[in-house]
Amino acid sequence: MKIRVQFLLSLSVILSALTFSASAQQVNDAQLKTNATPINNSLSYINRLQPVTYQYNHNGYKQLNLPTGLQVGFIANDAKQVAPWAITTSNNWYNAGKGSQRAVSTSEVDLQKLVPLLVGAVKEQQAEIEKLKQEVQQLKQSR
């Protein structure tokens, strides 16, 4: 009987723990962001970006453990002229000898930050396509 009471008490504690829920405030991201305005001329940004294929210079920077093989992306210094908000800089530390460390500062394009521009550019192109379709349809009807 004593074991059964302990079991029931343990079960009661476990069930109480399972039904306990912490209340978290739900915040919509629109509440966190201010001054949100549509991006105009997204296509002009995209047209100025120059995508490239490249390989990292392993001979000059072995200590950075850079990825191997063919890469696809942008040269950060070039992209900075078009979209400076999409450039991130990081310091990479490496051993430079006995008890000595050095830092190499590298820049790269944060591709995720370009996604809104891509969406805007597609929407701009689609609007242009729809406009051209209407013009073609009007020309066909005026024959």
Tens-digit pLDDT profile for residues 37-46: 999 999 999 9
The rounded distance, in Å, linking the Cα atoms of 87 and 112 is 11
Residue 114 pLDDT: 97
Which sequence spans correspond to the domains of the chain?
40-141
Tens-digit pLDDT profile for residues 7-41: 656 656 565 655 655 678 888 988 899 999 999 99
Residue 125 pLDDT: 97
Buried b (16+ CB within 10 A) or exposed e, 25-45: eeeeeeeeeeeeeeeeebbeb
Q: Does the pLDDT of residue 79 top 90, yes or no?
A: yes
Q: Which CATH class is domain 40-141?
A: mainly alpha
Share above pLDDT 70 across residues of the chain, in percent, rounded to a whole number: 85
Residue 94 pLDDT: 80
Residue 99 pLDDT: 82
